């Protein structure tokens, strides 16, 4: 699985140590192995991010196991001929992080995911070796895929090409810019807060100081209303007032 530049940078620059953690990803797809699972494709991204952060990752498809219906820890003790849940539950207990992946069909999670959740709930009253509930100090997450194709714009990505691209040629994520500017500011020795929205304010101020009409500033910023542009330009008055007071010739009273 290939991560994006932004995902890889977040992993490699993280100051946290996750090397003592273990994660179990359970794919609740309706397709048995080795059929292609789009849910697995999404889960592979999560697994790659965790592995790059030093997390030990395990993966399994729930449909590859014979999970008996019911809410007891071992349904073989309640009449089931076979139940693979106790073995799968050992993996749950060994993990610090449990991630369930499921497709969405008719607005609901898959029937396989429902079965897994039921079996997890059936073990929730058990205690661990420290006398705590079984899921104490564990983290859970979910990854969901849908069966819709998405909006028209998403189906035709070549209609609009990004102006600023990543190294892979894709659009730069907004969150990447939000994290990038403060890092560049610290590297340049700038102590003030630097953010993308502040650059828009500075751009508007420079346009006005250069003599640009208000409607030009409005169009350059992409505003629908001149009133919004005037909010951006409210800072200009303060600077002009300071400059006027500095340049004024004061006469003795």
Give the torsion through C-alpha atoms of 35, 141, 20, 63, to 10 deg.
Answer: -30
Where do the structural domains in the chain lie, given as residue ranges? 5-147, 195-247
The set of residues, in sequence order, having a beta carbon less than 8 Å from that of 123 and lying 6+ positions away, is: 73, 89, 92, 134
For residue 210, how many other CB atoms are within 10 A of its CB? Answer: 8
CA dist 232 to 196, 197, 220, Å?
Answer: 14, 10, 12
pLDDT in tens, 161-192: 777 777 667 788 888 888 888 888 888 998 88
Say yes or no: domain 5-147 is CATH 3.40.50.360: yes
Helix, strand, coil share (%) of the chain residues, nearest 5:
45, 15, 40
Give the torsion through C-alpha atoms of 28, 31, 35, 38, to 10 deg.
Answer: -50
Per-residue tokens: 78: 């309640």
* Low-confidence spans in the chain with pLDDT less than 70: 147-160, 167-168, 232, 235-248, 250-253
Find, among 212, 211, 187, 203, the residue nearest to 235 by Cα.
Answer: 203
Q: Where does 69-131 have alpha helices with state H?
A: 85-94, 111-122
The set of residues, in sequence order, having a beta carbon less than 8 Å from that of 162 and lying 6+ positions away, is: 170, 171, 172
Q: Which long-range contacts (CB under 8 A, 24 or more apart) does 104-107 make?
A: 104/144, 104/145, 104/146, 104/147, 105/30, 105/147
CA dist 113 to 63, 93, 95, 104, 209, Å?
Answer: 9, 18, 18, 10, 61
**pLDDT score, position 1:** 72
**pLDDT score, position 143:** 96
Q: Which residues pair with 101 in a beta bridge?
A: 27, 143
């Amino acid at each position: 699985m290939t991560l994006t530049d932004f995902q890889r940078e977040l992993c490699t620059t993280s100051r946290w140590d996750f090397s003592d953690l273990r994660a179990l990803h359970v794919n609740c797809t309706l397709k048995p192995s080795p059929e292609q699972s789009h849910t697995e494709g999404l889960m592979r991204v999560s697994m790659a991010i965790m592995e790059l952060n030093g997390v030990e990752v395990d993966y399994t498809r729930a449909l590859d196991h014979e999970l008996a219906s019911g809410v007891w820890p071992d349904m073989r003790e309640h009449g089931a001929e076979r139940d693979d849940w106790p073995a799968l539950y050992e993996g749950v207990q060994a993990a610090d992080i449990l991630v369930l992946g499921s497709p969405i069909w008719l607005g609901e999670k898959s029937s396989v995911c429902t079965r897994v959740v039921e079996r997890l709930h059936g073990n929730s009253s058990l205690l661990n070796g420290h006398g705590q509930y079984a899921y104490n100090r564990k983290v859970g997450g979910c990854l969901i895929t849908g069966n819709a194709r998405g909006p028209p714009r998403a189906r035709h990505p070549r209609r609009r090409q990004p102006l600023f691209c990543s190294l892979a040629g894709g659009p730069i994520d907004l969150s990447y810019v939000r994290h990038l500017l403060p890092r560049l500011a610290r590297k340049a020795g700038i102590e003030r807060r630097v953010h993308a929205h502040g650059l828009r304010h500075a751009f508007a101020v420079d346009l006005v100081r250069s003599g640009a009409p208000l409607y030009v500033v409005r169009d350059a910023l992409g505003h629908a209303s001149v009133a919004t542009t005037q909010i951006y330009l409210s800072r200009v008055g303060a600077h002009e007032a300071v400059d006027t007071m500095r340049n004024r010739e004061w006469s003795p009273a």
